[in-house]
Structure 1
Amino acid sequence: MMIFGFLSPTLAILIFMVAYPIFSLIYYSFFNFSALRQGTMKPVGFNNYKFLLSDPDLWDRFIFTGKFVFICVTLQMLIGIFVGYQMQKNFRGRDVIFTMLMMPMMLSPVVVGFLWRYMLNSEWGVINFLVSSVGFSKVDWLGQTSPALWAAAAADTWMWTPFIVLLATAAFRGIPETIYEAAEVDGASPAYRFFRITLPMSAPVLFIALILRLIDSFKQYDLFVALTGGGPGSSTETVSFSVAKTAFSYFYTGEASALAVILLVIIIGLSMILVRHLTKMGEKY
């Protein structure tokens, strides 16, 4: 009873901050409801879900979000692991370089979005200046769907690769040196040591980084608000962007709640699959 008494304040905060919003979201998703007209809640059952899942525009949002998540997470994991492997070594100026690498992660996504928006300006942006200086024609990065996707992925990768570097470096430096010394005595090559020792023994930490980046990438909203505004047209709207637009621009609160529930189910499903693999990996290593 005493333990429950000590835990009750934390449990109350969790129930209020987590459980209540989630159950309210699920509850509102079954109503034709607008936040502007709170007195007119009409039960519609699963009609909000049926409407959303039959909307081809929504599937375009999911496809775009999937492409964005795949590009970002792949680039961030590959670059982060490579840089983290280099940063685990002791060399002069390592701490200064490591600190500078962490700086983009400290910025707000909105700030990063506006920064890259100015850099990618089709007329006077520094990126097009560099492109034209080597003989290529300027690219309308934010005015076309495919370049805008890669531009958003580049901005997100620039911002969040340091997170992977941080975790990867910590994981690599946690591997005992005696294992590398024994492998070196046995004549193991650097590539063999990396793929057979470094990666397997740091896999649980890297898997956690993968899970966190997947979840965060699926929820990406503020970067696109600042960088593309969802344009051109609505071709760079992520699912989270569509949720916010439906709720706060059109005030279709019931439909927005249903869409948020769909996104929540997808994120929870992916997380459960990855956590199951992480558990097996932890038992193995």
Structure 2
Amino acid sequence: MEREMHLPAAFTARTSGRGILRWLNAPERRGPLLVAPAILTLLLVNILPLLWSFGLSFFNYRANRMATPRFDGLENYVDLLGDDRVWERFVTTGLIVTGSVGLQLVVGFGLAMLFARKFPLRRVLLMLVLTPMMLSFVSVGIFFKLFYDPTLGLLSWFVAMFTGEPFAIMATPAGAIWAIVIADAWMWSPFVMLLVLAGLVSVPDYLYEAAQVDRASHWRRFKTITFPYVKGLILLALLFRTIETFKTFELVYLITAGGPGTATETIAVYAYRLGFQNFRTSEASAMAYLILFIVIVLTSLYLYLVKQRNSEEV
């Protein structure tokens, strides 16, 4: 008798369970369920820490103190924007970005023009040229630090052959900036080359053949045929490399550590020092979001230029 009383409840639970499974397995819900783990992981790993750090930027908080965070509103942002040291780091970062990205575009475009043509051992040389961007930042930073070493470095040894004295490129602020620019350009010029090369190989051969029949000069062929095909990719490379170089930290920290003095201390290195050396955690969070804001502005500018380009073509 007691068993009979429990049968309807068990049957109802089994039926409801099957109903939930049937509801979950409906065709219109299979797609969202497949991407649900990825969205949940993104939420836990990226979105929640991002929101937490953004909220922290409005408080007065230090990681090495047990005091309760105090809400300060926009005070951290106001203090950073009114700090001359912050603007000096922005200027330093701008110099490195301008020099490095400009050199990458020139070298990458030249390499793309070279490898767009077929010649012996082209594939082997292309693999060697692509090697730098496959290396880690740590290995590149240590390599160039040893390369620039005034006692044992190859650069000092080469200059000493002509001057008879060791050469320390990082002894002066200008030399230290150029040392970082060269290292970053050496590592990422192959990336620019790949983007430009993708545009060059997509140019139809009949356009060059028609230009040759018309006896167009090399400059006119480049201006009217080659450059329009690669202009969008050059802008894309400019955007990617500007954003990445603006955030550069590893190369600067490994090669110069921001020196001599603070001559090469970029805004990313300064944010690191604020958060992990001076324990000004909330100010470091505010600095990180200022960097994020600048990156968003650069991306919006790129999209505007692409939109203008497309409207001109129409």
Bucket of the pairwise TM-score, normalised by the shorter protein = over 0.9
Cα distance between partner residues in 2 of 1:104 and 1:7: 35
Aligned residues between the structures: 285
User: What CA deviation, in whole Å up to 9, does each residue of 1:69-108 have, x standing for no partner?
Assistant: 0000001001111110111101111101100001111111
Report the TM-score when normalising by structure 1: 0.94
Tell me the SS of whatever aligns to 1:34: coil
Cα distance between partner residues in 2 of 1:9 and 1:200: 43
| Cα RMSD, aligned residues only | 1.8
Task: Please tell me the residue identity of whatever aligns with 2:231.
Answer: A
The Cα shift of 1:133 comes to 1.6
The Cα shift of 1:61 comes to 0.5
Match of 2:212 in 1: 184
The Cα shift of 1:175 comes to 1.2
Contact 1:102/1:162 (<8 A) preserved? yes
Cα distance between partner residues in 2 of 1:136 and 1:49: 51
Q: Does 1:200 align with 2:225?
A: no
Match of 2:48 in 1: 20
Q: What is the aligned counterpart of 1:95 among 123, 146, 159? A: 123
Tell me the SS of whatever aligns to 2:70: strand
Q: What is the aligned counterpart of 1:53 among 56, 81, 84? A: 81
The Cα shift of 1:39 comes to 5.5
User: What CA deviation, in whole Å up to 9, does each residue of 1:178-227 have, x standing for no partner?
Assistant: 11111111111122111221111111122111111011001100111110
Contact 2:180/2:252 (<8 A) preserved? yes
Task: Please tell me the residue identity of whatever aligns with 2:206.
Answer: T
Percent of matched pairs sharing the same residue: 33
Q: What is the aligned counterpart of 1:80 among 108, 127, 132? A: 108
Q: What is the aligned counterpart of 1:107 among 135, 138, 141? A: 135
Task: Please tell me the residue identity of whatever aligns with 1:36.
Answer: N
Mean CA deviation greater in 53-62 or 28-37: 28-37
Tell me the SS of whatever aligns to 2:198: helix
Computing the radius of gyration from Cα coordinates, the structure with the larger value is: 2
Q: Relative to structure 1, is the Cα distance of residues 178 and 59 closer, same or farther in structure 2, using a 3 angstrom cutoff?
A: same
Map 1:37-52 onto structure 2 (within 5 A): 37=65, 40-52=68-80
Cα distance between partner residues in 2 of 1:65 and 1:13: 33
The Cα shift of 1:156 comes to 0.5
Structure 1 portions without partners, runs of 5+ = none
Cα distance between partner residues in 2 of 1:117 and 1:194: 39
Tell me the SS of whatever aligns to 2:169: coil
Structure 2 portions without partners, runs of 5+ = 1-27
The Cα shift of 1:239 comes to 0.6
Q: Which runs of 4+ in 1 moved over 6 A?
A: none
The Cα shift of 1:154 comes to 0.4
Q: Does 1:34 align with 2:62?
A: yes
Q: Does 1:71 align with 2:62?
A: no
Map 1:191-270 onto structure 2 (within 5 A): 191-270=219-298
Mean CA deviation greater in 214-223 or 6-15: 6-15
